[in-house]
């Protein structure tokens, strides 16, 4: 049998495929699972978005190959959207349309890292950062994030030898999985740090508009003094516009920085279906601030239901001001993986073990708020029934199949 490339041995299987299999096994046994593991918003896209998709699909030429960089009308609309939100210059030449932001994040290391180079990544953090670095043949070096520092990395604590070999750094705020938000002072420090060490900063803004308390959107980096020469920002239509199945995102950077990523992208991908891009343009053009606020109110409601249930049970859980997650420390000294198994088998609740996001998450689980209100309420009820003496006491018995 042919042998896989050595780099494949450095890449873990994507955690959510494994979670899907575990949930399916429980469901085959007759149980109904409250799936709070994945970030898959249950809201429907705006009718404006769906109408644009259907209308565009009926036009002549709609089914031809799309432009590699993205349809000019969408790139222009996205540039205008960016300028409105962040009061920073942005033209269509600053925008590369992606098949979901995950694609650009995974391909960026191929554009900027050689074998033996170092890529810095947050720990805990989105798994694709590490996978992209590994697939480029580079070394991923974790920047530990701790609650006492607001889940912001401490640059002075990084290993200097590895730092000298670093060429790329991933950051993500609002942060998946903890819900932390970056301060302006931190981002300004990041710009100075990146300048000193000649680093490209890949700033993942997937949750920029999913801010439950405080101003929206969350701060971008490019508008800061000196940042435009060293920052590539990533955006997605999945979280803000409930278009996750459409696979549509964008990278924003000055054209010189964007060039290497564009070259990799056009050699690997063939562009996004034009009607999907038309739907993305409709989402941007609609200025749906009221619709977004309605979604955010729904997430606030769900967050409170689960947060109050967990606090009543003595949980060590953060109350994040952004994103669609709760970050829960496992009780009784359990690892996050063991606690996730306990919840799935005992309470019929699926959550994500924190180690999916790095070693700093070994004692945590991530709980998603993207299930329906009914599922969230049912999960809170199951927690109370499964742990009547609180989470620090062992569950008395597994719930009966639902």
Query: Mind listing the pLDDT tens digit for each residue in 2-28?
Result: 888 888 877 776 666 677 777 778 778
- Residue 2 confidence (pLDDT): 87
Q: Which fold has domain 11-40+290-386?
A: 3.90.1150
Question: CA quadruple 50, 52, 57, 62: dihedral positive or negative?
Answer: negative
Query: What's the CA gap between 36 and 378, in Å, rounded?
Result: 11
Question: Is the per-residue pLDDT at 345 higher than 60?
Answer: yes
Query: What's the CA gap between 149 and 127, in Å, rounded?
Result: 22
Which pairing describes strands 118-123 and 166-172: parallel, antiparallel, or unpaired? parallel
Q: Return the closest-CA partner of residue 232 out of 152, 172, 174, 154.
A: 172
Query: Mind listing the pLDDT tens digit for each residue in 352-385?
Result: 999 999 999 999 999 999 999 999 999 999 999 9
Domain-wise residue ranges, the chain: 11-40+290-386, 47-285
**Which of 36-45, 183-192, 304-313 has the lowest average pLDDT?**
36-45
* Peptide bond preceding 197 in cis form (omega within 30 of 0): no
Same fold, 11-40+290-386 and 47-285: no
pTM flag (> 0.75) = yes
Inter-residue long-range contacts of 287-294, CB under 8 Å, 24+ positions, other chains counted: 288/46, 288/48, 288/241, 291/46, 292/209, 292/216, 292/240
Query: Mind listing the pLDDT tens digit for each residue in 107-133?
Result: 999 999 999 999 999 999 999 999 999
Which CATH number is associated with domain 47-285? 3.40.640.10
Instruction: Give the chain's mean pLDDT.
Output: 93
Q: Count other Cβ atoms within 10 Å, centred on residue 393.
A: 13
Find out whether 99 and 247 touch, Cβ atoms under 8 Å.
yes
DSSP 3-state assignment of 401? Answer: coil
- Residue 27 confidence (pLDDT): 73
Query: Mind listing the pLDDT tens digit for each residue in 40-96?
Result: 899 999 899 999 999 999 999 999 999 999 999 999 999 999 999 999 999 999 999
Query: What's the CA gap between 120 and 190, in Å, rounded?
Result: 13
- Residue 402 confidence (pLDDT): 44
Helix/strand/coil percent split, the chain, to 5:
45, 15, 40
């Amino acid at each position: 049998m042919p042998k896989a490339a050595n780099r494949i041995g450095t890449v873990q299987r994507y955690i959510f495929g494994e979670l899907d299999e575990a949930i399916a096994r429980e469901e085959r046994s007759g149980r109904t699972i409250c799936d709070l593991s994945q970030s898959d918003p249950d809201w429907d896209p705006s009718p404006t978005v769906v109408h644009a998709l259907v209308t565009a699909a009926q036009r002549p030429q709609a089914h031809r190959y799309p432009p590699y960089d993205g349809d000019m009308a969408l790139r222009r609309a996205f540039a205008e959207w960016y300028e409105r939100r962040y009061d920073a210059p942005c033209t269509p030449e600053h925008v590369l349309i992606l098949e979901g932001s995950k694609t650009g994040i995974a391909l960026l290391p191929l554009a900027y890292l050689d074998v033996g180079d170092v890529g810095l990544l947050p720990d805990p953090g989105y798994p694709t950062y590490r996978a992209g670095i590994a697939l480029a043949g580079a070394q991923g070096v974790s920047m530990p994030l701790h609650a006492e520092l607001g889940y912001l990395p401490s640059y002075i604590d990084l290993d200097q030898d590895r730092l000298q070999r670093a060429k790329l750094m991933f950051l993500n705020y609002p942060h998946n999985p903890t819900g932390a938000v970056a301060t302006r002072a931190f981002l300004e420090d990041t710009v100075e740090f990146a300048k000193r060490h000649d680093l490209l900063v890949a700033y993942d803004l997937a949750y920029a508009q999913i801010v439950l308390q405080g101003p929206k959107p969350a701060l971008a980096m490019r508008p800061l003094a000196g940042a435009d020469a060293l920052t590539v920002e990533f955006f997605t239509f999945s979280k803000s516009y409930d278009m996750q199945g459409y696979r549509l995102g964008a990278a924003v950077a000055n054209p010189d920085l964007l060039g290497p990523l564009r070259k990799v992208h056009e050699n690997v991908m063939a562009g996004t279906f034009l009607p999907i891009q038309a739907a993305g343009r409709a989402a941007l053009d609609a200025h749906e601030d009221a619709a977004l606020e309605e979604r955010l109110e729904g997430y606030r409601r769900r967050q409170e239901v689960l947060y109050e249930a967990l606090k009543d049970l003595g949980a060590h859980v953060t109350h994040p001001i952004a994103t669609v997650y709760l970050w829960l420390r496992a009780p009784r000294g359990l690892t996050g993986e063991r606690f996730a198994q306990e919840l799935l088998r005992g309470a019929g609740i699926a959550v994500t073990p924190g180690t999916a996001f790095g070693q700093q998450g070994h004692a945590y689980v991530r709980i998603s708020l993207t299930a329906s209100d009914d599922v969230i309420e049912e999960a809170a009820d199951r927690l109370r029934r499964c742990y009547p003496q609180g989470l620090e006491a062992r569950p008395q018995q597994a719930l009966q199949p639902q």
